[in-house]
Structure 1
Amino acid sequence: TVLNATQQDKDDAAADGIQLIFPTTFPRDRRKAEISWLTFDHQARYPGLPSHVDFIVGHVHITSHAARRIKERFPGAKLIQVTHVMPEETSQYKGDEKVMSIGQESLSILDDLRDADVLFSVGPLMYDYYRHQTNQLTLQHHELLPKPSDIFIDMKLKPPADTETKVVLSIGRVKGVERLKGVDLAAKTMGKVIDKLPNTKWRLRGFRRDDFQASRSIIEANTGRFQFVPFTPLEYGTQEELCEDMRKADVVLMPSRAEPFGLVGLEAIAAGVPVVISSKSGLAKFLTKQDPEFDRTIVEIDDDDEEAAKTLSKRIIKILKDGPREFKAAQSLKKKLLESEYWAESHSKLLQTVGLEG
């Protein structure tokens, strides 16, 4: 069940054998599709669901309550919830209102999980967290490790050009999550990097046009002693556009203060691009379990912002100055990551759960 879809979404679904079920609309109803249609109005908006349903999958916390409510129509179906959010971690950096709502949000998630038959948590950080949260519940709980998309795995990169121009790429929105995603740290960091290497370009993928002015003000307010840190704003894009960004990047920067996993960083590693990842991310926890060589991608983020920016800038400058060596190391990490097939066991467990694999 979906609220809407682009033509590309429809084409991708058709190619994968997925049937998209759209909501029923009414000529005089001017309201835009919203998540409540799935959650509270599904009887009217989705009257023609299949008569036989084996599994219902919800995405915590976006569609977890919707999945739980829709299950009421299919008492014989199993309810699977997939989670990659941890309010007690991420909401700490989203302003007072979100901090005050942490308790209620956590309770709502746990409430949705009470009726679940199976829970899949993305990555080791969330798996550990939800093992604790659901200890008193009777459900199966498994760790799910995502495989990078093939579009990144299939990327073939040339060694960096011998130019003074360098590119640092950040990915993710700014407004409302600047402290969570570490964009304020990135602004301070890039001020120091550009001070040492003036021809460095900082590109940020993930802007919305409506939020640009507010996002720009946030970045400019966090440049530290540097009055102006130039950056190139790029709107939300497709995976193809993100691939092109990575092709032109000398390093991908992911300085999150809290990140339940960090798929973008994983995809950059799979693409073979040098990466700087915050030690406070779930991705860092995952990588430390893989191979000691992956430690080179992880930077310890100090609670003191100035110290954190110094540490990040030193690592980035080293990567930019020693491009060929860092590129070779990134290619080695890509090879290790893909040859490990770390995702195989958890993907097999997911397929077994829904009866698609013996």
Structure 2
Amino acid sequence: MPDDVFNWLSSSLDDQVTVDERLVTRVADDLGAVTAAEIGEIGDVLLSILEDHSGTPFPMRVGQWSVTTSTRNLRSALCSTLLVLGLQAAGATSPTIVLAAIAPFLLDIEKVGFRPESRDVVGEMRADITDAAERGALWAGLPEDLRHEMPYLRMIELSEQLQRAGALTKLPDAPNPAFRQRIHAAPSERVPSRRPPLALLVADEWLPSKGGISSLNRYLAFGLAETGLEVYCVVPSARAEEFADARRGGVELVTPAGIPGLEPGAALGMTRPLADHLIPDILIGHGRVTGPQAKALRDSFYPDAFLYHIVHMIPDYLEWSKTDRHIDAGTRAESRSDIEEKLGVAANCVAAVGPMLYEWFSSVLAPCESPPPLLRFDPGFDTVENKTRVPSPGRPWILMLGRLGDAKPKGLDIAAAAAGWAVHIANGAPRFDFVLRGSPEGQAEELHEAVRGWSQQTSLRVIVRNYTTEIDRLRNDMMRADLALMPSRTEAFGLVGLEAIVTGTPLLATDQSGLAMLLHQHLPSELYDQVVVPVTDDIEHDTASWGHAIAAAMRNRSASFATAAAVRDTMARACTWARSCTALIDVWNSARGDSC
């Protein structure tokens, strides 16, 4: 704090100071307050901040009142008071305590100043919040409780208010704007209170019984709700526990009105899913699964909505690993690629999940004269699950999880053969159970026999369990596992691998995945090489490389868990749901600004 402001404070930070009506009047006088309202405003802000810092409610300020604090606390509170008064004068409408909490993240609190002659609060911004990327990174880095109090949309609003008030000045020799705002001036014209923007996601289910798309949709909906959007998700049908699960994350599930003769899923895009007074600002569809329905809703009912098309798969890769279908793989791949491409071009923005899909759709849009913006959407690795993991007691579990009816695309034959090879070369490594979670209903015995055959090891203990959507059961499986396998021949991203990482479960993942590409961008080579294993589609080669990797992980399980913890911590810092969701919103916000 500059020497000429509040220089009557003791230089000894541990000295005790009595805060009473006389001190508030002195502070107000230093800040040029004249009217009783101005003096009262300064006192209310200062005491609210001091009370919040102390964690103890102050007595009611009636008659003779006083509270005692240290010089250090009072200096900090005075700096925060200056910033809050400046932000409020510029039009900020958040509660005082929220503004005081976020102010040190916006400005360097040690360099806050006050110019008595003009009654200006001045400071240095820590980031250029007029820039979407910097603003999103700042918000994503806030503590979780503060993100809840200051949703991302409120941060955008604050940035716009400061710009309208002329409080931000870009200097040629500084990376970030300077803050300057007169206090006790008439506040800038404020935007009337209105409901937050509304997002409508279109999904074929809420809890994921059909794989990664619905799992990502759920995480995305929760992440968007955290930013301050009003979030709805329309699904064909939902159970009571699904409505409850969505509400816990700030999301409202809706189901479409039925149409006689049509299954609920077929009616997704044919009827208006929301009450007439609820008009989506944002519509989100997922690939060819719900992209057509989202487009139909935009075209038929919500023409002003900003449509996102989220790309989850590459048909030209995936369909060629499903050669057991009745329709020729080439025909399927081309037909499904055409659908994906047409839906993307018709959207206002394409969001590709991870680097592999981003690369693919970049080439799809290359021939377009006026392509929609393409956003790379990296799923978050941050989670409340930060428990230190150690090897499970008893017989180890090696877990493979997913929709295992698609055995070849998921690399189940590779995993089984490699598990058998790991048993063969064990050399003292503990025997393990090979646990498969994801058998189609009624096919567990058939899958069990197929896996035993691929493994060529009669001593391999195989446990097959049906696919489930129960979140707690899936989490327990992952938390019980000593090693998770994702040996897919192709995996556009690989959410199963992400789930393993965020729970701290040791993982071996295919290099033929968007997840592997993302890990390569953020992990040091010594970690990456312990997690990612090549898949060549040469069964003998893959059996050997994966078998040796499994045996090594089983031989030193403590080291495997230490590696998993390092991977989780690194990726949780690099990729968060908050950062990804703010990037998504910024595309819409930029387009909205351009159209105004």
TM-score, scaled to structure 1: 0.88
Matched, 1:287 2:514: no
| Deviations 1:308-342, CA, capped at 9 Å, x for gaps | 01110111111111111222222122222223345
Pair 76,31 (structure 1): closer, same or farther in 2 beyond 3 Å: closer
Pair 50,136 (structure 1): closer, same or farther in 2 beyond 3 Å: farther
How far the C-alpha of 1:156 sits from its partner, in A, is: 1.3
Please give the alpha-carbon distance, in whole angstroms, between the structure 2 residues aligned to 1:159 and 1:80. Answer: 41
Partner-residue secondary structure (3-state), 1:210: coil
- Structure 1 equivalent of residue 432 of structure 2: 200
Aligned runs of 1:145-160 on 2, under 5 Å?
Answer: 145-148=378-381, 150=383, 153-160=384-391
Aligned counterpart for 2:566 among listed residues 320, 323, 332: 332
- Structure 1 equivalent of residue 335 of structure 2: 104
Pair 98,353 (structure 1): closer, same or farther in 2 beyond 3 Å: farther
How far the C-alpha of 1:142 sits from its partner, in A, is: 0.4
| Number of equivalent positions | 347
Please give the alpha-carbon distance, in whole angstroms, between the structure 2 residues aligned to 1:200 and 1:318. Answer: 13
- Structure 1 equivalent of residue 420 of structure 2: 191
Aligned runs of 1:222-241 on 2, under 5 Å?
Answer: 222-223=454-455, 225-226=456-457, 229-235=460-466, 236-241=468-473
- Of structures 1 and 2, the one with the larger relative CO (CA 8 A, separation 6+) is 1
Aligned counterpart for 1:17 among listed residues 246, 250, 268: 250
Please give the alpha-carbon distance, in whole angstroms, between the structure 2 residues aligned to 1:308 and 1:64. Answer: 36
Matched, 1:94 2:327: no
Pair 110,158 (structure 1): closer, same or farther in 2 beyond 3 Å: closer
| Deviations 1:132-183, CA, capped at 9 Å, x for gaps | 0122332011000111473xx41414421575x22101011222x2111000
Aligned runs of 1:74-89 on 2, under 5 Å?
Answer: 74-89=302-317
**Cα RMSD (Å) of the superposition?**
2.6
Q: Which amino acid aligns with 2:533?
A: V
- Structure 2 equivalent of residue 261 of structure 1: 493
Unaligned runs of 5+ in 2: 1-233
How far the C-alpha of 1:54 sits from its partner, in A, is: 1.7
Q: Which amino acid aligns with 2:407?
A: E
Pair 162,244 (structure 1): closer, same or farther in 2 beyond 3 Å: closer
Is the CA contact 1:157–1:247 (under 8 Å) kept in the aligned structure 2?
no
How far the C-alpha of 1:353 sits from its partner, in A, is: 3.1
Please give the alpha-carbon distance, in whole angstroms, between the structure 1 residues aligned to 2:295 and 2:240. Answer: 29
Is the CA contact 1:205–1:237 (under 8 Å) kept in the aligned structure 2?
no
Matched, 1:168 2:398: yes
Please give the alpha-carbon distance, in whole angstroms, between the structure 1 residues aligned to 2:486 and 2:389. Answer: 23
Is the CA contact 2:381–2:572 (under 8 Å) kept in the aligned structure 1?
no
Pair 94,49 (structure 1): closer, same or farther in 2 beyond 3 Å: farther
Is the CA contact 2:535–2:542 (under 8 Å) kept in the aligned structure 1?
yes
Please give the alpha-carbon distance, in whole angstroms, between the structure 1 residues aligned to 2:292 and 2:452. Answer: 39
Pair 252,7 (structure 1): closer, same or farther in 2 beyond 3 Å: same
Please give the alpha-carbon distance, in whole angstroms, between the structure 1 residues aligned to 2:238 and 2:308. Answer: 23
Pair 75,304 (structure 1): closer, same or farther in 2 beyond 3 Å: same
Q: Percent identity?
A: 24
Is the CA contact 1:60–1:82 (under 8 Å) kept in the aligned structure 2?
yes
Q: Which amino acid aligns with 1:187?
A: A
Q: Which amino acid aligns with 1:276?
A: L
Aligned counterpart for 1:5 among listed residues 238, 248, 256: 238
Please give the alpha-carbon distance, in whole angstroms, between the structure 2 residues aligned to 1:22 and 1:161. Answer: 42
Please give the alpha-carbon distance, in whole angstroms, between the structure 2 residues aligned to 1:262 and 1:276. Answer: 12
How far the C-alpha of 1:79 sits from its partner, in A, is: 1.3
Larger Rg: 2
Please give the alpha-carbon distance, in whole angstroms, between the structure 2 residues aligned to 1:252 and 1:174. Answer: 14
Pair 166,287 (structure 1): closer, same or farther in 2 beyond 3 Å: same
Partner-residue secondary structure (3-state), 1:142: strand
- Structure 2 equivalent of residue 143 of structure 1: 376
Partner-residue secondary structure (3-state), 2:508: strand
| Deviations 1:6-43, CA, capped at 9 Å, x for gaps | 222201222333332212237xx576423x2224xx13
| Deviations 1:187-212, CA, capped at 9 Å, x for gaps | 11111223335731011111232333
- Structure 1 equivalent of residue 502 of structure 2: 270
Pair 92,313 (structure 1): closer, same or farther in 2 beyond 3 Å: same
- Structure 1 equivalent of residue 282 of structure 2: 55
Of 290-299 and 89-98, deviating more is: 89-98
Q: Which amino acid aligns with 2:350?
A: L
Aligned counterpart for 1:134 among listed residues 347, 360, 365: 365
Pair 49,123 (structure 1): closer, same or farther in 2 beyond 3 Å: farther
Please give the alpha-carbon distance, in whole angstroms, between the structure 2 residues aligned to 1:46 and 1:320. Answer: 51
| Deviations 1:60-79, CA, capped at 9 Å, x for gaps | 02001111111112222221
